Structure 1
Amino acid sequence: MNRKLLAAATAVVAGALALGGCTPTPTTSGTTAAPAVKTGGEVNVAWNQAFESYNNATQDQNATANANITYMANDSIGYYDKDLKVIQNPSFGKYEKLSDNPLKVKVTLADTATWSDGTPVTAADMILQWVALSGNRNTYEPTLDDNGLAPANAGTQVYFNAASIGYKLITDMPEVGDNGKSATFTYSKPYVDWEISAMTPVGVPAHITAKKALSLTDNTAAAQAVIDAVKNKDAEKLGKIANFWNTGYKFMNMPTDKDIVVGSGPFTITDAKEKQYITLSKNPNYKGSHKANLDKITVRFIADAQASVQALQNGEVLVTQPQATADILKQVTALKDVTVQTAAGGTYEHVDMAQNNGGPFDPKAYGGDANKAKLVRQAFLTSIPRQKIIDNLIKPLNPNATIRNSFTTVPSSPAYAAIAGANGMEAAYGGGDSAKAKTILASAGLATPPTVRFLYASTNTRRQQEFQLIKEAAEAAGFKVEDKSAEKWGSLLPDTTKYDAALFGWQSTSLAVGESDANYRTKGQNNYYGYSNPAVDKLFDELLGTTESAKQTEILGKIEKLLVDDAFGTTIFQFPEITTSSNKLKNVSATPLSPNFFWNAWEWQLA
């Protein structure tokens, strides 16, 4: 499964094993008796990053800010509640494992699964999801542009700008059945996370995608056109479908073509203004069990944490989850008639480095000398003042905060100690040591100090502070560090010609065992940096077929040891998280997974 990039105030995506111990602790201030609740009404809530695309499955739009909105506008068969339990939604569909060898999974859509324009959700929608995320009809791999976009497919070229390891294991077209209401997926090998894929088998609507891509008018014919194009391997039509799937759902202002916002969920998008807000209204054609209580939810985009708290205090928004700092916690706990939920979130901070751009961490910069490039990476990583970052920026909020020493597993997981003990990250990088880093850099024998272009979110105050600490420590070790921060840093990640190192966070979308696969596998969707180690790929292959937890832990320890030995990057800390909601709005709770506090938006009620 994909992970989500979260920008601005809280930041971006997370771990692989169980996210235990993340249940928020609520505190309530200034309240008396619980007020009665009512149906209907309109509310405003705050989020720290602007919406950009209705198709968050593409590589360049794999962001939490997009996923929050698409989640509310679309249904699924299964989803996570605040306690990270999977809840089934039979009003959208069901899934069942038919066999283990080969692994066969049948997904059947319910008769009540309906798009907001009245069109039934069918197997065509699942076929579109499969062909897009599997890449099994792609005919080439293009060079992405500055925004992480592929050039338009031309002629018989086909490229869907996405990838999912689970869908890639389904090499044959799924079998359509039950009068177009089911699809049976046959995996080429065992896959431990098959249920995660089955929970959300549908993305953007097939009939809308085909109508726009192929200039069709009839919804039923358009949906069938997707099935036919995939079945017949019609590259000309698939290329056009891929073009629209890749880019056709991108908007920040409300599109004039309302087909672009057709969804299957309890809400539909009815208004949007670039970088200011997006509004979702109750879907009048929704037939599922998640019927919305509220008439309208407007998500206001407020990057500044102080401004979002002020908006809450003024009653301009009823929920906010600003970047957690000691000052913010103090401010929200002092407010009256609010509920404050604190938790260790599902997001962790880390630094990655590009090995494919001819820069200081790429062997090409040294005539192909891989060892020299690795020494430069090791020196830079050793200089990063992980302990100072935590002492200065995180401990004032959480006195018990510690360095996170795992690429794949949250510190609260039972497997964390074993994995962190096996990977060698603490021994390699510790809390940061500029003197040691300077010695390592000197051993590389460079003629001039290497220049590192450093990418991070320019609108994020904590990232600005982290950058200054990293820059100071790295320059003491002999590097020159350039500030390449950007507001739309997330869209720049696929284009490593723009930077050499990036500071951001990953937030989990699920509890999938193999969720980190996309980050470290050769050409994985989230592996932007050209990193490739066949031994890592082989271990992930083994992990994806392993169901025994002790063996999973052992494999992850081996993977992480290779990542540390290769000087891929480093992790820093697990995010503290603060969700504050007005007591005027009921049934609000936080979960460490994307979609955050939006997970049950249909249950929200005004007092």
Structure 2
Amino acid sequence: MKKRFLAAGASVAAAAMVLTACTPPGGGDDEKSSEKSSINIGWNESFRSMNTLTANGNAVSNAILTYMMNDNFKHYDDKLELQDGSLGSVEQVSEDPLKVKYTFNDDAKWSDGTPVDAADLALTWAGQSANFNTVEQNNADDGSVKENDAKTVYFDAATAGSALIKDFPEVSDDGKEVTFSYSKPFVDWETELGTGADGVGVPAHIVAKKALGIDDPAEGKQAILDALKDKDTEKLSKISNTWNTGFDFTSMPKDEDLLVHTGPYKMTDFKEGQYVTLELDDQYSGPVKPKVDTVTVRYNGDPMAMIQAIENGEVDMTQPQATADVLSAAEDLDGVTVDAADGATYEHVDFTFDNKGPFDPEANGGDEEKAKKVRQAFLKTVPREDIVEKIIKPLNEEAVTRDSYSQVPGSPMYDAVTKENGVADATDVDVEAAKKLLKEAGADAPKVRIMYDNTNSRRQQEFQLIKESAEKAGFKIEDVGDVNWGTRLGDGTYDVSLFGWQSEGTGVTENDANFRTGAQNNYGGYSSKKTDKILDKLLVSKEDEQEKLLTDLESQLSEDAFGAPIFQFPELTIYRDKVKNVSSTSVSPTMFWNYWEWETN
């Protein structure tokens, strides 16, 4: 699996400012007198972490910036074709057993001059493998990660691919080569480590400095490798604490160690909830050569305010939450290009299975079948067609409901998977059938708490449509919408959630993160031995097996009434004519994928 990024809408209250109230360095047309080029970009959610591998850091708002600040081994272009990055090479050196070797380029260095090497990638593997964890979870009541004591180790991430790497890797004497051995075949080995915005993760020598008090970078790297090789619980406890939260910040940190990076841009200013400024780093020695000197990302959760900022020349590029009003307003602007397309993000409705709520067997006398009937009843009230007709079709006349958990409409396997997966049947609105299911379950007017971003106009409309339909069947709907919805995922304070997933890549094992028992993105606590077995098979599948396995997976999700996909997000990329070479890809980091090609005039 490669994780999926949370795709936020308007979700930061602090960002709801008037853009003209605070113009950051490098902003606006009044800067034309400067010899250095600059671009201002509008975004809807603020940066919060340099570590995009953790549950908290796993957000597009972080990835778009870490992608520009860090080099990688692989990345996707706008045709979803995998391209070589600038850190080095990745190759399969053995098929049985599967062995994958990473070779770092000689000029791959952190911004403080420390080489990028095996210790960095080994730490990333350890952090997302869960193989070093001594506890399954370590979360506080509010869902945040608690600090490990000296006897516990918990890295707040997990991927199925890294979990298959059980043994400490082979490391060359100079640290420039590292070879990982998989315990089983793994279909997505090429993108498991070092891809996209993640790069090689956070710097091992800085982690050693913060966690172990080792100032010398070489000694620190070796200490990280030794702790992993020896499975030193006391040291790994400290290392995991730093890895989990040590690189989180919401304004410009005083500690410059937190800003150490491998790529061409460095962070030079960050005003909380307002803007982040990146500038070219003159110490960068790698091959990526951006044409723009300064990139400032400015935050505002109101998409119409972003259109106003484009018109005023305060913002040059943006991908706001798409609505019919936003599209119409953008199309009315002179000197502005609007590219409309389907994005990779899809909206979905998820149930919570483990909070003693209406969909949890524990609230139904321990009877799983009764709980399932309540879930099935709710799905029979979700007006997916109505949502698409009223909210999405004004943006895209060809829009349809998305009937697959894993496939984008129009993709090669979509028709075959959706023909057999049962999603459309499970979600065919039928209020009378819903009432009958509730009666069979003995559920009298069950109260359902729905959590969503209540500052997002599209989700407000979705919530109302679902509420009206569900109440006709006898459900009592409680609005527990929250601007900080992302921090509440998995905390048990809601029964249904509405949000979007955006993929980081195209691998079939991405599904693992959402549906496997205990997986990182399985916020609802869903657990199925049958589903886990199908996911196990997908991890080692060959190309000609994948369509059948994905169909089996989705059929099982429908059988279990896991939830439902609703629609594919419409995506608007809006930019002023002064910016050249803008394009977007339908995986994270969207329009930032080719930042080095941007030009201004």
Match of 2:9 in 1: 8
AA matched with 2:82: V
AA matched with 1:77: F
Match of 1:41 in 2: 37
User: Quick one: distance in 2 between partners of 1:196 and 1:354?
Assistant: 31
User: Quick one: distance in 2 between partners of 1:320 and 1:413?
Assistant: 26
Match of 2:545 in 1: 551
| 2:449 counterpart of 1:453 | yes
Secondary structure of the 2:266 match is strand
User: Quick one: distance in 2 between partners of 1:162 and 1:8?
Assistant: 23
CA displacement at 1:141 relative to structure 2: 2.1
User: Quick one: distance in 1 between partners of 2:516 and 2:384?
Assistant: 26
User: Quick one: distance in 2 between partners of 1:299 and 1:416?
Assistant: 36
| 2:436 counterpart of 1:439 | yes
CA displacement at 1:150 relative to structure 2: 2.4
Match of 2:28 in 1: none
Deviations 1:523-578 (A, max 9, x none): 11111122111111111111111122x42011110111110010000011111111
Q: Pick from 504, 515, 522: which aligns with 1:509?
A: 504
- 8 Å contact from structure 1 (residues 59, 148) kept in 2: no
Secondary structure of the 2:244 match is helix
AA matched with 1:554: K
AA matched with 1:184: T
Once the two structures are superposed, the pairs formed by residues 176-325 of structure 1 within 5 Å of their partners are: 176-200=171-195, 202-325=200-323
Secondary structure of the 1:58 match is coil
User: Quick one: distance in 2 between partners of 1:119 and 1:296?
Assistant: 24
Match of 1:429 in 2: 427
Shift in alpha-carbon separation, 1:174–1:39, aligned structure 2, 3 A:
farther
Match of 1:590 in 2: 584
User: Quick one: distance in 2 between partners of 1:161 and 1:279?
Assistant: 28
User: Quick one: distance in 2 between partners of 1:490 and 1:576?
Assistant: 21
CA displacement at 1:602 relative to structure 2: 2.2
TM, length-normalised to structure 2: 0.94
AA matched with 2:218: T
Secondary structure of the 1:459 match is coil
| 2:566 counterpart of 1:566 | no
Q: Pick from 387, 391, 394: which aligns with 1:393?
A: 391
- 8 Å contact from structure 1 (residues 345, 577) kept in 2: yes
User: Quick one: distance in 2 between partners of 1:147 and 1:581?
Assistant: 39
CA displacement at 1:178 relative to structure 2: 4.8
RMSD between aligned residues: 1.6
Shift in alpha-carbon separation, 1:228–1:120, aligned structure 2, 3 A:
same
- 8 Å contact from structure 1 (residues 4, 508) kept in 2: yes
AA matched with 2:78: K
Match of 1:15 in 2: none
- 8 Å contact from structure 1 (residues 355, 529) kept in 2: yes
Match of 1:22 in 2: none
Match of 1:110 in 2: 105
Secondary structure of the 1:592 match is coil
User: Quick one: distance in 2 between partners of 1:218 and 1:341?
Assistant: 49
Instruction: Extract structure 1 runs of 4+ deviating beyond 3 A.
Output: none
Q: Pick from 519, 528, 538: which aligns with 2:533?
A: 538
User: Quick one: distance in 1 between partners of 2:360 and 2:59?
Assistant: 27
Q: Pick from 379, 382, 385: which aligns with 1:384?
A: 382
569-578 or 327-336: bigger deviation: 327-336
- 8 Å contact from structure 2 (residues 11, 455) kept in 1: no
- 8 Å contact from structure 2 (residues 125, 193) kept in 1: no
| 2:132 counterpart of 1:131 | no
Shift in alpha-carbon separation, 1:39–1:99, aligned structure 2, 3 A:
farther
AA matched with 2:238: K
User: Quick one: distance in 1 between partners of 2:337 and 2:269?
Assistant: 29
AA matched with 2:497: A
Match of 2:24 in 1: none
Secondary structure of the 1:171 match is coil
- 8 Å contact from structure 1 (residues 539, 559) kept in 2: yes
CA displacement at 1:121 relative to structure 2: 0.5
User: Quick one: distance in 2 between partners of 1:10 and 1:426?
Assistant: 30
AA matched with 1:440: L
Match of 1:56 in 2: 52
- 8 Å contact from structure 2 (residues 348, 566) kept in 1: yes
TM, length-normalised to structure 1: 0.93
AA matched with 1:345: G
Match of 1:67 in 2: 63
CA displacement at 1:227 relative to structure 2: 0.6
AA matched with 1:294: V
Q: Pick from 115, 122, 132: which aligns with 2:117?
A: 122
585-594 or 147-156: bigger deviation: 147-156
Match of 2:144 in 1: 149
User: Quick one: distance in 2 between partners of 1:147 and 1:130?
Assistant: 27
Secondary structure of the 2:509 match is coil
Q: Which runs of 5+ in 1 are unaligned?
A: 12-37
Secondary structure of the 2:567 match is strand
CA displacement at 1:156 relative to structure 2: 2.0
User: Quick one: distance in 1 between partners of 2:173 and 2:295?
Assistant: 36
User: Quick one: distance in 2 between partners of 1:143 and 1:122?
Assistant: 30
User: Quick one: distance in 2 between partners of 1:52 and 1:371?
Assistant: 41
Match of 2:495 in 1: 500
- 8 Å contact from structure 2 (residues 204, 221) kept in 1: yes
- 8 Å contact from structure 1 (residues 346, 574) kept in 2: yes
User: Quick one: distance in 1 between partners of 2:173 and 2:453?
Assistant: 48
User: Quick one: distance in 2 between partners of 1:39 and 1:125?
Assistant: 37
AA matched with 2:65: I
Secondary structure of the 2:165 match is coil
- 8 Å contact from structure 2 (residues 351, 495) kept in 1: yes
AA matched with 1:421: K
CA displacement at 1:422 relative to structure 2: 1.0
User: Quick one: distance in 2 between partners of 1:43 and 1:318?
Assistant: 6
User: Quick one: distance in 1 between partners of 2:309 and 2:422?
Assistant: 45
Once the two structures are superposed, the pairs formed by residues 352-371 of structure 1 within 5 Å of their partners are: 352-371=350-369
- 8 Å contact from structure 1 (residues 60, 147) kept in 2: no
User: Quick one: distance in 2 between partners of 1:237 and 1:178?
Assistant: 23
Deviations 1:264-315 (A, max 9, x none): 1111111111111111111222111112222211111111110111111110
Match of 2:597 in 1: 603
Once the two structures are superposed, the pairs formed by residues 447-486 of structure 1 within 5 Å of their partners are: 448-486=444-482
- 8 Å contact from structure 1 (residues 376, 444) kept in 2: yes
AA matched with 1:5: L
Secondary structure of the 1:443 match is helix
User: Quick one: distance in 1 between partners of 2:10 and 2:340?
Assistant: 16
Matched positions, count: 577
User: Quick one: distance in 1 between partners of 2:415 and 2:391?
Assistant: 24
- 8 Å contact from structure 1 (residues 266, 602) kept in 2: no
CA displacement at 1:339 relative to structure 2: 1.8
Match of 2:569 in 1: 575
Secondary structure of the 2:349 match is strand
Q: Which runs of 5+ in 2 are unaligned?
A: 13-33
CA displacement at 1:60 relative to structure 2: 2.7
- 8 Å contact from structure 2 (residues 49, 56) kept in 1: no
